Amino acid sequence: QVQLVESGGGLVQPGGSLRLSCAASGKIFSINAMGWYRQAPGKQRELVATITYSGGSTNYADSVKGRFTISRDSAKLTVYLQMNSLKPEDTAVYYCNADVLISIWSQTGAWGQGTQVTVAS
């Protein structure tokens, strides 16, 4: 199976920064794309940012454009989310997602366990 492990969440004051990491492991032939989603209490899970693994093409939710940056380390099979100028409304559980090939014939998706980000004074 494919495993995703997030880290880097925590408590930060408004205007502060955090960097989230997501490391992929398991039976992975290649990674097509990875992304970050978040879910706040009482709200549906929403897309935050995605990145294609080969070309590094990125997409961001309008709410985080200019503040968050997604990147990847191909050697470590790891994706990062640099979050700057954090706002209280960014408070949520952040989940890593991966679209991977476990062989040239088989594609699958995976989710991490989530990491809590709390923005409050």
Mean pLDDT of 26-32: 94
How far from chain centre, in Å, is Cα 79? 7
Maximum Cα interatomic distance, the chain, rounded to a whole number of Å: 49
3-state SS class at 65: coil
The two structure tokens encoding residue 24: 């992929």
State the pairing for strand pair 58-60/46-52.
antiparallel
Residue 78 has pLDDT above 90, yes or no: yes
Q: Which residues, other chains included, contact 71 with Cβ-Cβ below 8 Å and sequence gap of 6+? A: 51, 56, 79, 80, 82
Average pLDDT, the chain: 96
In the 8-state DSSP scheme, what is residue 27?
S
Q: Which residues, other chains included, contact 98 with Cβ-Cβ below 8 Å and sequence gap of 6+? A: 2, 4, 22, 24, 31, 33, 34, 35, 79, 109, 110
Residue 1 has pLDDT above 90, yes or no: no
Residue 26 has pLDDT above 90, yes or no: yes
Q: CA–CA separation, 30 vs 16, rounded Å?
A: 34
Q: What is the pLDDT of residue 74?
A: 85
